[in-house]
């Protein structure tokens, strides 16, 4: 297991998220992506003795680190090893029917990126893993070595938004025919060969988009997000808030659309004089534009560059 210190960095958009939650001291809050408990620690500091926090994470290392970090607040904290996709079931098992706030800090944690053996980073040669939940049997290597060329093309195009997706998929299939691709270093070399040298020199790291795509596919990240937002909104008490931090356009688009639909669910044609579909707004979007990191935070943490925070409040 990992030392707790590995997790003790300041969470992205921490102050903005805590402010956005509008914490009620006696309330119940859920951190659906507990990680190193950066957000949860600040939530707990603001809760009274009868307030409560439920922390959810599927990563065993995160569970251990968060448990240590939150031990001061142990009486009001419940930590569950699960995927936030099972949000409703987690609450049901805790005997909770509604909550006052939920926070999701999506993407890969700094610890996961910085621990080479987890296989999330293209910067160090390591086993091609990328599992957020290490109880899962399928790894990134399974995707790389068993998906058809068409499926590899699809995920790199859709989840990586890489214009060289077709060529990268072709190179992967050709390379694995000679020997299995089992490490991040092998995959990076294959990707480099698929991208013109001029682009490699002027663009970012050639593997970034493909690694993102494989990670999203393996961990069902977009599917889980898409399926969870409405459930979380429905679980909020009146005035309760859902704060979601995203790190790429695919996630942000899902959050933006789901929040907008929850605010205005009417499906009547725009020329109808009155609503007849009967669908009522669930609340309001607090952030018309997403909140982004300040210049000060960008200087301290380069990973905050792509972070966007959106907030929804239940009626």
* pLDDT single digits (tens) 1-18: 444 445 545 689 999 999
CB atoms within 10 A of CB 49: 9
Classify each residue of 81-117 as buried b or exposed e, where b means 16 or more C-beta atoms within 10 Å of its C-beta.
Answer: ebbbbbbeebbeeeebeebbbbbbbbbbbbbbeebee
Regarding whether 240 and 215 lie in a shared domain, the answer is no
Q: What are the DSSP calls for 4-18, one per residue?
A: GGGG-SPPTTHHHHH
Residue finishing a domain among 185, 200, 219? 219
Regarding whether 196 and 278 lie in a shared domain, the answer is no
**Cβ(122)–Cβ(207) under 8 Å?**
yes
Q: What confidence tens digit (pLDDT) does each residue in 205-245 have? A: 999 999 999 999 999 999 999 999 999 999 999 999 999 99
Q: Residue 201's domain is classified under what CATH number?
A: 1.10.150.170
Do the bridges between strand 99-105 and strand 236-246 make them parallel or antiparallel, or are there none, so unpaired? parallel
Q: What confidence tens digit (pLDDT) does each residue in 74-100 have? A: 999 999 999 999 999 999 999 999 999
Question: What is the number of structural domains in the chain?
Answer: 2
Regarding whether 270 and 205 lie in a shared domain, the answer is no
What's the CA gap between 62 and 103, in Å, rounded?
16
Q: Which structure tokens are listed for 165?
A: 């997706």
Q: Residue 88's domain is classified under what CATH number?
A: 3.40.50.150
Regarding whether 243 and 208 lie in a shared domain, the answer is no
Regarding whether 107 and 232 lie in a shared domain, the answer is yes
Regarding whether 284 and 164 lie in a shared domain, the answer is no
Q: What is the pLDDT of residue 5?
A: 41
- Domain extent, residue 267, equals 4-111+221-314
Residue finishing a domain among 219, 251, 268? 219
Regarding whether 138 and 183 lie in a shared domain, the answer is yes
Residue finishing a domain among 168, 193, 219? 219
Ranges of residues in the chain whose predicted pLDDT is under 50: 1-5, 8
Regarding whether 295 and 234 lie in a shared domain, the answer is yes
Cβ-proximal residues to 254 (8 Å cutoff; 6+ apart), any chain? 222, 225, 226, 229
Regarding whether 161 and 141 lie in a shared domain, the answer is yes
Q: Which residues pair with 312 in a beta bridge?
A: 242, 285
What's the CA gap between 146 and 181, in Å, rounded?
10
* Angle at CA of residue 301, ends 300 and 303, nearest 5°: 165
Regarding whether 202 and 136 lie in a shared domain, the answer is yes
Regarding whether 32 and 85 lie in a shared domain, the answer is yes
* Angle at CA of residue 297, ends 2 and 65, nearest 5°: 15
Regarding whether 29 and 73 lie in a shared domain, the answer is yes
As a whole-number percent, the residues of the chain with pLDDT over 70 amount to 97
């Amino acid at each position: 297991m990992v030392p707790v210190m590995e997790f003790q960095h300041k969470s992205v958009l921490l102050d903005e998220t805590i402010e956005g939650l509008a914490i009620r001291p006696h309330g119940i809050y859920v951190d659906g992506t507990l990680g190193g408990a950066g957000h949860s620690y600040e939530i707990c500091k603001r809760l009274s003795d009868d307030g409560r926090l439920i922390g959810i994470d599927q990563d065993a290392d995160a569970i251990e680190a968060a448990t240590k970090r939150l031990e001061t607040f142990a009486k009001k904290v419940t930590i569950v090893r699960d995927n936030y996709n099972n949000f409703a079931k987690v609450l049901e098992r805790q005997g909770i029917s509604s909550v006052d706030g939920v926070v999701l800090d999506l993407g890969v944690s700094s610890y996961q990126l910085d621990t080479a053996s987890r296989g999330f980073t293209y910067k160090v040669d390591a086993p091609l893993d990328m599992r957020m939940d290490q109880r899962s049997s399928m790894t990134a290597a399974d995707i790389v070595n068993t998906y058809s060329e068409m499926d590899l093309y699809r995920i790199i195009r859709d989840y990586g938004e890489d214009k060289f997706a077709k060529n990268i998929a072709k190179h992967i299939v050709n390379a694995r025919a000679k020997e299995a691709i089992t490490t991040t270093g092998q995959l990076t070399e294959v990707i480099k060969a698929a991208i013109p040298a001029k682009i490699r020199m002027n663009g970012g790291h050639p593997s970034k988009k493909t690694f993102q795509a494989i990670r999203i596919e393996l961990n069902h990240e977009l599917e889980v997000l898409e399926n969870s937002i409405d459930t979380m909104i429905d679980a909020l008490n009146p005035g309760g808030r859902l704060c979601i931090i995203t790190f790429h356009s695919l996630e942000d688009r899902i959050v933006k659309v789901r929040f907008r639909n929850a605010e205005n669910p009417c499906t009547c044609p725009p020329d109808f004089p009155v609503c007849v579909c009967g669908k009522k707004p669930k609340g309001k979007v607090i952030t018309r534009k997403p909140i982004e990191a300040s210049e000060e935070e960008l200087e301290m943490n380069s990973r905050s560059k792509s972070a966007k925070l959106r907030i929804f409040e239940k009626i």
